[in-house]
Structure 1
């Protein structure tokens, strides 16, 4: 689109703009999304064309065959790199017309048992964007060294057998081109099995016109004396729709390089559940968009957008995009990562035992009974770039999370305050308001760690500034919070107010680091909160370095080490742009069209901000940055949240599947605004949201400018006490949460997990998203309807589950039970066989708890076993990367000595030196600094009889083991539907956290 002149924009009143937007948001509290602002597939040229191609294949049935053929003579396997195959694919439809129809194929087999498939156009007219890997992948990978290759030229099949147990097979069929992945001989992931591989070859517009003339029969070609008329088929006409200029509402996308979309079908053989591709407000197990009875008619869209009043149960695009999909059945688990940052649409079809065109899926035809194998077909379509796909074959979920995170990175270990409670609204009015809110938490004995300021804290929406009238002494304000071990967060968005007197705008202009219009010369300007605005081009290295420098204390005047950052509106949101975002034909550094990198823009912004916070201190303090937009790799820079939700029960219910999906896709540090951003929750809804929110990895309450104030004490009793109890529960479990954050920083596993990841053979859990696990230990069932006092909870497995408040037991095997969910609690259960570490002394902030002793809750399984871990470091620096941490493993097992026959032992063992991130030190100063930090209480749950005797064996380094008797033991009998058991508490066993010891009982 052509930009509105800056002088014209500047004549508009900023006050009027804010009033209009605020009025629109208020009127929008009926939460009716303005669908007309956002495209459907039928309004997107490349989506329409690729769907038409798929429709043609569907209609042709068994007669359809992919036009792509592998040129067997081109196959090359480098003996020095046996894990790489290179070859040429030929589009026979194009070569028959005398056109260039060659594509380059590369197959990489990785040492982590993943595979990478790359297909790109050979010698394109314009260079296709191929830089996503530079931003998303954390390092170059190694190729597998365990590989067997077999080539059968008679039927055109090349196969590779690989994996630690040689369990994986990759089979490439030449004609029609198809790739199959098999695990132990069973088809698992199939590429181009439906024949939907498609590359829109880049071309010049005059070449397109010449082809059109030929298709219309307007050439001089003759047969005898008669002119030959070449009639277009219906498919050919559909495949030429909106190939060049494309309009939506009042905006026109010039598409100067023409069509360049790519498409491929990916089938998950034998799996009828697929998950992932966030962000969408829908179920965790993705619903079908194609086929008989499909709930949705449009594909899932991945295109980062600012969607006011987003709807529930909808495949529309939202704020973030991660093109990762995981499929699961009782028999197999696999995943794919479609590494493309352009607008992408994904169709999902779930046929019932239907043979495919190639016959590969017919392998499953006829399998009946429990666990009957079906298959899910998906169709991926991206507007630009190359086809770059990773396939992960597991075989377990943990293997897939490890394989995927080894490529895109794991979650950065946050500062400890970041996983505590955050208090926010748009906006706290002034410094006095901040002080009163802070005092209110202390008055009502509710802990919190972070207070947030939205856009109104700035001088006229100029980021890195303060409104001097409202916040005259920002540094003193932060120091007052820091005195209580609390932090502050301020918002900094990517749009920069056009103002020659504003130092950020002036410097960026002088450095020439704004995104350019399609002419490549003038700076793009659009409309956002400040009025006329421009956007930093984070693809320019100079821009990234400069942006990071703005967080230095002498540049961000009024900031301190206790101030952190919130990146909002970074899709990017442009109020007067197409679909409320930036035009696709604007240009980035290197003459790169925005259409190729749209979904990565927010991550680039997030990354530069995190670097700014990291580098502002000589000690390189860990940053905290919250982002609204995200892509694969965002987890390396901070947290995200699910955007502008509503204060409704439906949005509370939708939060769980949204967060589970985001976590499955490699981004565990996520949350949903507690209470809902828009609207005014009643006391019951707000209380229930707090009770659910304490089990979100990112725990923040937030509210819209026009929402009524709703600090946790404002609704009075009994709600204040109920909310206080919920928040205190979060704080009590912070050691457990911090340990989970450490573990995900190592292995990439989600923090909150769908039930099926822990019970992969239980089909009842495969579509379950209204309850979930925190780690592997806690089962959480949020209450998401008004007036509910009873909940149906599914207790998976055959072991017991213990209510975390009463220790009453519930037990399957794998069954639903009705349990109490009174107003003051939601159902939360600890799994038998786990040990959870807590701190139970109420404090005003997490920092105030760091010297408090621990409680171990030991939930014994039917064999009398249990296990758990505790990770500790200083909670703020990077010293842990040099080994300054402790990792303890607690375990209950039977004693093996004759002298202690019949006893069990709870042991504490040091795992620090065996941790993957351990670095050798002369002495672990952090561990030494813990001094006499101790375990003050051990609670054994699930005992068949009371404990009669307890003794402790201490194993302090350099000292002989010494045994002593512990007298202070209290046991209580607990009865429930699952039978009676005993809960015994050992008080003050006088064991230190940093030392090895055993408790015999």
Structure 2
């Protein structure tokens, strides 16, 4: 009996440790994140933008979005936005909305590069004309309709502004944006004397030199009962509603890359990767998809059926539908609509935009032995031999950050790992590979050649004052190569060559950790990443 009591108390202790390990106060909630808090307060129908000067230009359906009535911003700050609808093979529609460059905004908004593959643009369909139709029962409202594929059409509603895809047969909608008038686009501007744009959290301050620049809008998936995607979260595969009837007060799904060791189960909190791609599916078999090419922090609400925020969205009775609300801190609207009609079709359409993932090498599908950390070469040899002794097959052994010389990546601790090439050859003789970790933060040490080279070339990310950003990670004081620059990505990729990575052999592979953008140059440069 006493042993059972001890075991029970031990389980209670473990549970309490799990709860206390979650450092909730270190991460901003939606109501502590100004762009998310502002967006969630918006009411359906708040958008006053209408599509004006609608025409076909350079093969696209284009328009100006102008304010129909006074806005919550000063009237002189409401400048027209540019809108373009492009169509591509396989039933893909691309919608872009940005500030009008001819109106001389104070700064160009950030646009994501190097994600859409070059082959995708060759699939563009050059629009020749658009038909105009009157919306029944809408006081003479107009829509412009263009061809999308043999079974689908892209539609731009003028007043109020809305964009959607529909089936030609029966005009049944598939995916829509701004059906509920929740669209908002905060424009860059010059600060007035009495304005305070600084955002503060836990002693950190964001100065916002050009003001808030968030974007938010509603996206609806028709004929749908479930939505999936927007990884990564520790929750069910089918995304649960975050707002609406029967839903306890919840945070939106957060897309913000964080290497969080402790996280909550069944939570919308983001835990590592952030991919703003959502797939819907209905019991009828209909699927559709939506992708927002945006790298800023993002929050997404999945709205429960019947959601009514003081006269807000009410689900229609004639067709099942999932409504979602997308909020981003910055960037532009650069979105893709995928018509399916099946789940495989949606995925095929998505990868035609972003490219197929690389096929894994055969050995990488086997068992991998990884831990933090191996003490030295003797420890590696002992672990390897124990697999043989106990007849356990495995293919790869991984080394974490402790194998380096003081966490200077692309180096070896000469005391603990004095013979790295020999160690790798011993594994290779058994048909096994070694993987070593490389992280994108470089130790700020003038004696470290990599830091010295990056600093002299001006390759580090800069802070608001123009100085090299000095942050903290595993090596301590660290700086980060600007991976958005192709020249810097090429420079970084060169460090992986056998000549530059002293101690590497053909059986060594790289754990390119926390560092997705740096592999864009591909295997022709980084031939064993």
User: How far apart are residue 108 of structure 1 and its match?
Assistant: 0.5
Q: Corresponding residue for 2:109? A: 129
Residue 292 (structure 2) pairs with residue 338 (structure 1): yes
Residue 288 (structure 2) pairs with residue 309 (structure 1): no
Matched ranges for 1:239-318 at <5 A: 244-295=197-248, 297-318=250-271
Secondary structure in structure 2 of the residue aligned to 1:70: strand
Matched ranges for 1:52-67 at <5 A: 52-53=41-42, 56-57=43-44, 64=45, 66-67=47-48
Task: Provide the C-alpha distance between the structure 2 equivalents of 1:444 and 1:119, rounded to a whole number of angstroms.
Answer: 61
Which residue of 45, 54, 61 maps to 1:85?
61
Matched ranges for 1:172-571 at <5 A: 172-183=156-167, 184=169, 185-206=171-192, 209=194, 244-295=197-248, 297-331=250-284, 332-352=286-306, 364-365=316-317, 367=318, 373-520=319-466, 522-568=467-513, 570=514
User: How far apart are residue 356 of structure 1 and its match?
Assistant: 13
Task: Provide the C-alpha distance between the structure 1 equivalents of 2:20 and 2:231, rounded to a whole number of angstroms.
Answer: 21
Maintained 8 Å contact 1:128/1:385: no
Task: Provide the C-alpha distance between the structure 2 equivalents of 1:250 and 1:386, rounded to a whole number of angstroms.
Answer: 29
Task: Provide the C-alpha distance between the structure 2 equivalents of 1:297 and 1:562, rounded to a whole number of angstroms.
Answer: 48
Secondary structure in structure 2 of the residue aligned to 1:171: strand
Secondary structure in structure 2 of the residue aligned to 1:441: helix
Maintained 8 Å contact 2:115/2:354: no
Maintained 8 Å contact 2:225/2:283: no
Matched ranges for 1:937-976 at <5 A: none
When residues 65 and 515 of structure 1 are mapped into structure 2, their CA distance, relative to the original with a 3 A threshold, is closer
Secondary structure in structure 2 of the residue aligned to 1:477: helix
Task: Provide the C-alpha distance between the structure 2 equivalents of 1:99 and 1:524, rounded to a whole number of angstroms.
Answer: 33
Matched ranges for 1:663-682 at <5 A: none
Task: Provide the C-alpha distance between the structure 2 equivalents of 1:30 and 1:351, rounded to a whole number of angstroms.
Answer: 32
Maintained 8 Å contact 1:197/1:264: yes
Q: Corresponding residue for 2:123? A: 142
Residue 518 (structure 2) pairs with residue 605 (structure 1): yes
Larger Rg: 1
When residues 162 and 136 of structure 1 are mapped into structure 2, their CA distance, relative to the original with a 3 A threshold, is closer
User: How far apart are residue 424 of structure 1 and its match?
Assistant: 0.4
Maintained 8 Å contact 1:110/1:144: yes
Task: Provide the C-alpha distance between the structure 1 equivalents of 2:463 and 2:145, rounded to a whole number of angstroms.
Answer: 48
Per-residue CA deviation, residues 270-294 of structure 1 (Å, 9 max, x unaligned), is 3121111111111111111111222
Matched ranges for 1:569-648 at <5 A: 570=514, 602-607=515-520, 611=523, 614-615=524-525, 623-624=528-529
Task: Provide the C-alpha distance between the structure 1 equivalents of 2:204 and 2:519, rounded to a whole number of angstroms.
Answer: 28
Maintained 8 Å contact 1:288/1:296: no
User: How far apart are residue 30 of structure 1 and its match?
Assistant: 5.9
Q: Corresponding residue for 2:93? A: 115
Maintained 8 Å contact 1:261/1:385: yes
Maintained 8 Å contact 1:347/1:379: yes
With the length of structure 2 as denominator, give the TM-score of the two structures.
0.89
Per-residue CA deviation, residues 872-928 of structure 1 (Å, 9 max, x unaligned), is xxxxxxxxxxxxxxxxxxxxxxxxxxxxxxxxxxxxxxxxxxxxxxxxxxxxxxxxx
Q: Corresponding residue for 1:35? A: 24
When residues 347 and 29 of structure 1 are mapped into structure 2, their CA distance, relative to the original with a 3 A threshold, is closer
User: How far apart are residue 186 of structure 1 and its match?
Assistant: 1.4
When residues 516 and 290 of structure 1 are mapped into structure 2, their CA distance, relative to the original with a 3 A threshold, is same
Maintained 8 Å contact 2:164/2:177: yes
Secondary structure in structure 2 of the residue aligned to 1:134: coil
* Higher relative contact order, structure no. (Cα contacts within 8 Å, ≥ 6 residues apart): 2
Per-residue CA deviation, residues 259-316 of structure 1 (Å, 9 max, x unaligned), is 1111110011231211111111111111111112224511111111122211111111
When residues 383 and 135 of structure 1 are mapped into structure 2, their CA distance, relative to the original with a 3 A threshold, is same
Q: Corresponding residue for 1:693? A: none
Task: Provide the C-alpha distance between the structure 2 equivalents of 1:392 and 1:111, rounded to a whole number of angstroms.
Answer: 11
When residues 606 and 311 of structure 1 are mapped into structure 2, their CA distance, relative to the original with a 3 A threshold, is farther
When residues 98 and 530 of structure 1 are mapped into structure 2, their CA distance, relative to the original with a 3 A threshold, is closer
User: How far apart are residue 496 of structure 1 and its match?
Assistant: 0.9
When residues 357 and 156 of structure 1 are mapped into structure 2, their CA distance, relative to the original with a 3 A threshold, is farther
Per-residue CA deviation, residues 157-188 of structure 1 (Å, 9 max, x unaligned), is 1112431xx21122221111112321232112
Maintained 8 Å contact 2:143/2:155: yes
When residues 30 and 406 of structure 1 are mapped into structure 2, their CA distance, relative to the original with a 3 A threshold, is same
Unaligned runs of 5+ in 2: 1-15, 135-139
Per-residue CA deviation, residues 429-470 of structure 1 (Å, 9 max, x unaligned), is 111111111111111111111001111101111111111111
Task: Provide the C-alpha distance between the structure 2 equivalents of 1:33 and 1:296, rounded to a whole number of angstroms.
Answer: 19
With the length of structure 1 as denominator, give the TM-score of the two structures.
0.48
Per-residue CA deviation, residues 805-834 of structure 1 (Å, 9 max, x unaligned), is xxxxxxxxxxxxxxxxxxxxxxxxxxxxxx
Task: Provide the C-alpha distance between the structure 2 equivalents of 1:31 and 1:112, rounded to a whole number of angstroms.
Answer: 50
Maintained 8 Å contact 1:288/1:295: no
When residues 99 and 533 of structure 1 are mapped into structure 2, their CA distance, relative to the original with a 3 A threshold, is closer
The range that moved more, 170-179 or 29-38, is: 29-38
Task: Provide the C-alpha distance between the structure 1 equivalents of 2:239 and 2:329, rounded to a whole number of angstroms.
Answer: 22
Per-residue CA deviation, residues 784-814 of structure 1 (Å, 9 max, x unaligned), is xxxxxxxxxxxxxxxxxxxxxxxxxxxxxxx
When residues 162 and 530 of structure 1 are mapped into structure 2, their CA distance, relative to the original with a 3 A threshold, is closer
When residues 500 and 190 of structure 1 are mapped into structure 2, their CA distance, relative to the original with a 3 A threshold, is same
Q: Corresponding residue for 1:156? A: 142
Per-residue CA deviation, residues 215-270 of structure 1 (Å, 9 max, x unaligned), is xxxxxxxxxxxxxxxxxxxxxxxxxxxx7101001111111121111111001123
Task: Provide the C-alpha distance between the structure 1 equivalents of 2:277 and 2:294, rounded to a whole number of angstroms.
Answer: 11
When residues 98 and 474 of structure 1 are mapped into structure 2, their CA distance, relative to the original with a 3 A threshold, is closer
Maintained 8 Å contact 1:287/1:296: no
The range that moved more, 195-204 or 129-138, is: 129-138
Report the aligned-residue RMSD. Answer: 2.5
Compare the two structures and name the one with the higher helix fraction. Answer: 1
Per-residue CA deviation, residues 841-879 of structure 1 (Å, 9 max, x unaligned), is xxxxxxxxxxxxxxxxxxxxxxxxxxxxxxxxxxxxxxx
Per-residue CA deviation, residues 368-424 of structure 1 (Å, 9 max, x unaligned), is xxxxx4321111111111111100001111111111101101111222111111100
Count of matched residue pairs:
501
Task: Provide the C-alpha distance between the structure 1 equivalents of 2:208 and 2:292, rounded to a whole number of angstroms.
Answer: 23
Secondary structure in structure 2 of the residue aligned to 1:470: coil
User: How far apart are residue 326 of structure 1 and its match?
Assistant: 0.6
Maintained 8 Å contact 2:96/2:332: yes
Secondary structure in structure 2 of the residue aligned to 1:120: strand
User: How far apart are residue 358 of structure 1 and its match?
Assistant: 11
Q: Corresponding residue for 1:979? A: none
Q: Corresponding residue for 1:902? A: none
Unaligned runs of 5+ in 1: 1-26, 58-63, 213-242, 368-372, 571-601, 625-1001
Residue 58 (structure 2) pairs with residue 105 (structure 1): no
Maintained 8 Å contact 2:56/2:127: no
Maintained 8 Å contact 1:262/1:381: yes
Secondary structure in structure 2 of the residue aligned to 1:132: coil
Maintained 8 Å contact 2:440/2:480: yes
Q: Corresponding residue for 2:54? A: 75
**Runs (4+) of structure 1 moved beyond 4 Å?**
27-31, 145-148, 352-359
